[in-house]
Chains A and B, each alone.
Chain A
Amino acid sequence: MNRSLRPLLATALIFAIAYALAVMQFPSMFSTRVLGNFLTDNAFLGIAAVGMTFVILSGGIDLSVGAVIGFTGVLVAVLITWAGMHPLFAFAIAIIVAGTFGATMGLAIHYLQVPAFIVTLAGMFLARGGASVITRDSVPIYHEFYAWISDLTIRLPGGGRLSFIGLTMVAIFIVGALIAHRTKFGSYVYALGGNPVSASLMGVPVARTTVAIYTLSSVLAAISGIVFSLYTSAGYPLAAVGVELDAISAVVIGGTILTGGYGFVLGTFIGVMLLGLVQTYIIFDGTLSSWWTKIVIGILLFLFIVLQRLIFVASAPGEKAQKA
């Protein structure tokens, strides 16, 4: 079996077992209502995590995601509430701004040969600082378009609801998976994560691909910020602090190797759902501190990193070559 499938299967298995255990304790967790809310509540994280999957598959990292979400939320809120702009215009502007921002980071990473960690760290401070300069307070959004979108839901049997933003996330995951696994661009992303030197010798357009990856990540972070503003009906400069780390966790728990080259977009979806499950369980339990979410995520992350090491070190090709 393809060894990069193994972490994915492990994640799926852990999710199934964890969900079954949770349902045994709280039977009402097995309902379309809870499942529908899973999607809605984690939509912004999921969308950002799709972008993060591409970044990590290419062997990079993007720490600016949470800040871009916060910045986009503020920008959209200000454009709508203060400037009286139609939300769709505001969204378009936010996406263009974020895309430019991501492309600039990609250019810096490629041409200045600065590690992505540093460049996106700078990006994080810039975006977060920029948001706080625009406003220090939460800017509420009152617009009929927002109300219209919130009402835009598909009712499921059993009282559940598929919200617009939940469906947006699912759609982005599907498109993301198609891009990653079915297009040339996707194969370039994996190539960069596998070995950037080989990739460039094999004719992969490294500069273009790197810029595209960070542009994609920032654009998805902007969409995530828009979704977050739809979810909260406000823009707040300190929103989504640390979401980049949740996204990285979801990607790694979803079976993508942190050093790049191996992984699946679908895995990230399961990773996000697993994080959502932990949170929902703690809400159902009611007595546990919400910090338990962090502890469980920490344990899961650690387990998965160990698992990846075991799978990839144990079957490293070098070892085989030595035995041969």
Chain B
Amino acid sequence: MAETGYALEARGIVKIFGNHVALDKVDFGLKPGEVHALLGENGAGKSTLIKILTGAYQPTLGEVLVDGFPVSLNNPQHAQTYGIGTVYQEVNLLPNRSVAENLYLGHQPTRFGFVDRRKMERDSRTVLARYGLDIDPSSELGAHSVAVQQIVAIARAVELSGKVLILDEPTASLDRNEVERLFEIIADLKKSGLAVVFITHFLDQVFAIADRVTILRNGKLIDTKALDNLTRTDVVRLMLGKDIAFSGATKLEENRPLGEVLLDFKNYGRKRSVQPFNLTIHKGEVVGVAGLLGSGRTEMARIMFGADAADEGTVAVAGIQTSIARPTDAIAHGFGFCPEDRKAEGIFGDLSVRENIVIALQGKLGWFSALNRDEQLEIAGRFGEAMDIRAASLDMPVKLLSGGNQQKVILSRWLATDPAFLILDEPTRGIDVGAHAEIVRTINRLRDEGLALVVISSELDEVVAYSSRIVVMRDRELVAELNGENINPGVIVQAIANHKDGVSA
């Protein structure tokens, strides 16, 4: 160990892309045996810093030191040889190969030039046992849950590097139990002297597991502090650089006069997807949908939008019976849908911001009245401004924007069609605190403008903050509808957990 006491250190890192300074003289030090949280809004430079620490990017200026010695990391594999392993947000393993191969790919034990599969599987079993996993190492990785894949990814990173473990939003797709399991594993690794970098959007998790925190904002280092004497508010203030009201509302919007009925779903359902449900949605109303992952929330949204056809029940739009069997039907009625999985179902990553915004409007207009470029720019510009989309240019590919800005692009896309009804599935997933607040503000504004919205969210504080009414899903069934004065996250949790008699409207 060199005099610095850091397992991994970055000094004065500057990274410039074109004429954009992504990192500006950032210092970062990681001690062995600590969990170090790296925080910042999207676009603050977290992922750029991580990519430099793992060798995926080269710093424009500054140096990276391992155990006090300057190194130049050419690529992630090279970083591995220095003991630096990374687990990314989306599990970056090979679902088509066996668990054992995923653990050892590139480092398989060989005998006479051939891979010694038996030894590899035996070793895998030993390794996985340390993480409390008892699975067949010869089974296909893709057959296991995301949580198991995540643990395999961590096991691989630790096995191959063993000094520094970088976890880039490892909990984004895990449920509560799985997160706890992961934290136990991290605690064990920490005890064994590993240095862990932990990146997340969940402040609770930071306080649950991290020892120190480094906060970045706009590519600049704000501070590195021990967490002991920090409060959540301190951290948020450091991240945002300003005071914001943090999850203020704990009761539903006061009962205000309902608008006229816009939508009326009666016994609406789809076999093996959602049990028939009844739901009336008024103009100027936000209906929050709460429930655990897999409770049928997304499925409900999909049949409302016609992405999956309902096979039971009826729907009336503004009092007139109709059928919504395809998304085009829904769009014709003025519906919009922002799906949960932005990357897979929402944005066209390679298309520009402008094209992404006008695409639904163009779909509505049909083939024969193409919007010309000026009209497109006018529309995109208007929404870009209204929604405060931060893009260098409206012609840059959407995939280069941060998660929050991508979400705003999708929202703009539907708003451009002048919708009557919007379904938002997890609109704040994976976006930072600042963008969070903005999305919530936008939802409130749209409601005040008379739109009807259905918003699905796992964040109960948030659902409570903007909903006029909350429906609760459980086991693919709409089990409760909550409205009134005293609704708080606790009551929703009860409704999710309890049986039907537990809570009633």
Which residues of A line the B interface, CB within 8 A?
A: 2-4, 178, 182-184, 186-188, 190-191, 193-195, 197-204, 261-262, 315, 317, 320-324
What residues of chain B lie closer than 8 Å to A324, measured between beta carbons?
145, 294
Look across to chain B and name the residue whose beta carbon is closest to the beta carbon of A195: B94
CA distance A134 to B117 in the complex (A): 48
A2-B140, A182-B115, A183-B115 known; A193 vs B96 contact (CB < 8 Å): yes
What residues of chain A lie closer than 8 Å to B142, measured between beta carbons?
317
CB–CB A262/B96 < 8 A: yes
Which residues of B line the A interface, CB within 8 A?
A: 76-77, 80, 86, 88, 92-97, 101-102, 105-106, 108, 110, 113-115, 117, 140, 142-146, 156, 294
Look across to chain A and name the residue whose beta carbon is closest to the beta carbon of B78: A203
CB–CB B94/A198 < 8 A: yes
Cβ distance A264 to chain B, nearest Cβ, rounded Å? 13
CA distance A262 to B94 in the complex (A): 11
Look across to chain A and name the residue whose beta carbon is closest to the beta carbon of B113: A183
CB–CB B145/A202 < 8 A: no
CA distance A317 to B92 in the complex (A): 15
CB–CB A317/B95 < 8 A: yes
CB–CB A202/B114 < 8 A: no
What residues of chain B lie closer than 8 Å to A317, measured between beta carbons?
95, 142-144
A3-B140, A184-B110 known; A321 vs B94 contact (CB < 8 Å): no
CB–CB B94/A199 < 8 A: yes
Interface contacts (Cβ under 8 Å), in number, total: 78
CB–CB B105/A191 < 8 A: yes
Cβ distance B7 to chain A, nearest Cβ, rounded Å? 21
CB–CB B94/A194 < 8 A: yes
A187-B105, A203-B77, A203-B80 known; A194 vs B113 contact (CB < 8 Å): no
CB–CB A195/B95 < 8 A: yes
Q: Give the 8 A-B residue pairs with the shortest CB-CB distance, closest first.
A: A203-B77, A194-B96, A261-B96, A194-B94, A317-B142, A198-B92, A182-B114, A203-B106
CA distance A186 to B92 in the complex (A): 19
Of A193, A197, A201, A261, chain B has the most CB atoms within 10 Å of the CB of A201
CB–CB B88/A201 < 8 A: yes
CA distance A187 to B97 in the complex (A): 9
A184-B110, A184-B115, A193-B96 known; A204 vs B146 contact (CB < 8 Å): no
What residues of chain A lie closer than 8 Å to B76, measured between beta carbons?
200-201, 203
CB–CB B92/A201 < 8 A: yes
Look across to chain B and name the residue whose beta carbon is closest to the beta carbon of A179: B114
CB–CB A191/B94 < 8 A: yes
Cβ distance B385 to chain A, nearest Cβ, rounded Å? 34
Give 23 CB contacts A-B under 8 Å.
Answer: A182-B114, A182-B115, A183-B114, A183-B115, A184-B106, A187-B101, A187-B115, A188-B106, A190-B94, A191-B105, A194-B95, A195-B94, A197-B92, A198-B93, A198-B94, A201-B86, A201-B92, A202-B102, A202-B106, A261-B94, A262-B96, A317-B142, A324-B294
Cβ distance B235 to chain A, nearest Cβ, rounded Å? 30
